[in-house]
Amino acid sequence: MSMSLDGFIAGPDDGPDNGLGVGGGRLHDWLTEGGKLGRPSSASGEVFDELMATGAVVTGRRTFDLARGWDGDHHGVPIFVLTRHDPDGDTARWPLVTYVDDVATAMSEAKKAAGGENVLVHGAGVAQLALAAGVLDELEIHLVPVLLGQGRRLFDNLSPEHIELERTRVLEGDGVTHLHYRVLR
């Protein structure tokens, strides 16, 4: 997850025509070079390669809809959408997309589908639910030195229990610090 220094993963007023909210696009500048989305040449390139090597994606329905479902293809891997509502329109027919109503099932099915590769989790709600259910093994935060002041926070709705993390890696990229943590049980 790309995150501002004050904990936001999207700016204010995120919605269908503004998925990252006002100013939220700044959080993904590390993924662009010369204004074009793609593999960065800095140390962030290693992180990009790891992202593209994940074997499945778990996402919340809101994130999925804001991303327009990645047109049914997120780097060629199965996508598991956590939702309480049946799919509609074209999204119901995308072969790589499976709709699941339970975060533990979504994570379990994604891990099976990934065949030993990592699973990419998109969306604050899914990350919070996965942490609470004890099914999230690692966190990778792409910390961007900007204060958005408002928007959608990554860790807004966690229970008051402490979740211990062990830092396993820090990489400095151009305009971003990549922090990798193992979730301790």
Structure tokens that stand for 134 in this block = 């004890």
Burial (Cβ within 10 Å: 0-12, 13-18, ≥19) of residue 161: exposed
With contact defined as beta carbons under 8 Å apart, do 24 and 93 qualify? no
* Residue 122, phi-psi category: left (phi > 0), alpha (psi -120 to 50), beta (remainder): beta
- Tell me what pLDDT residue 7 has: 95
Please indicate, yes or no, whether the overall pTM of this predicted structure exceeds 0.85. Answer: yes
Please give the pLDDT value at position 131. 93
d(CA 172, CA 185): 28
Q: Return the pLDDT at 38.
A: 85
Computed from CA positions of residues 21, 23, 27, 29, in that sequence, does the dihedral angle turn out positive or negative?
positive
Residues of the chain with pLDDT under 70: 90-91
